[in-house]
Amino acid sequence: MKHFRRLVVLLLVLVFLSFPLSAQAASSSKVVRSERAKDLSGRDFSGQSLIEQEFSNVNLALSNFSNADLRGAVFKDSVINQANWHGVDFTYGITHLVDFTGADFSDGIFVEAIMLRSTFDEVDIAGADFTDAVLDGPQVRKLCARASGVNSKTGVATSESLGCR
């Protein structure tokens, strides 16, 4: 039995070496744009489709993302303070180590977003939907103190989506 296994392994190795797998190129439709280590403060991204866009170590202070499609987008190690995220769809989005101080999240959709180690001081969340979003506990408590309104697209109350008591 021991020799049989070795023979099978040897035959498999010979087959793979004799018939190499063909190389396959990645589809250009799967290439995700990425912005890294740039100053994009004050830029207007309003209404744009930025699905799965990646922003890393970017200054986006005072930028305008109102009504942008940010589903699956990733923001990490970035400054996005006083930015306009009114009406964005950030479903399945990810933020890590992002400063959102003074941003406008009103009427935004943050369903199932992962927003860890990010700062939400003085953020306007009126009508924002955070259903099943993952945020740090202290940030949730801070947001619950400001929670008001109902999202115009999902019909979910902000306080309910955050699990406020």
In this prediction, residue 33 carries a pLDDT of 61
pLDDT the model gives residue 22: 44
pLDDT at 2 over 60: no
DSSP 55-121: EES-B-TT-B-TT-B-TT-EEEEEE-TT-B-TT-B-TT-EEEEEE-TT-B-TT-B-TT-EEET-B-T
Per-residue tokens: 103: 């941003």
What pLDDT is recorded for position 24?
A: 40
pTM: 0.79
pLDDT tens digits, one per residue of 45-99: 999 999 999 999 999 999 999 999 999 999 999 999 999 999 999 999 999 999 9
Which of the two residues, 34 and 114, has the higher pLDDT score? Answer: 114
CB 129 within 8 A of CB 149: no
Asked whether the predicted pLDDT for residue 30 surpasses 70, the reply is: no
pLDDT digits (tens, 9 = 90+) for 108-157: 999 999 999 999 999 999 999 999 999 999 999 999 999 999 999 999 99
pLDDT, residue 36, reads 74
Structural domains present in the chain? 37-165 (2.160.20.80)
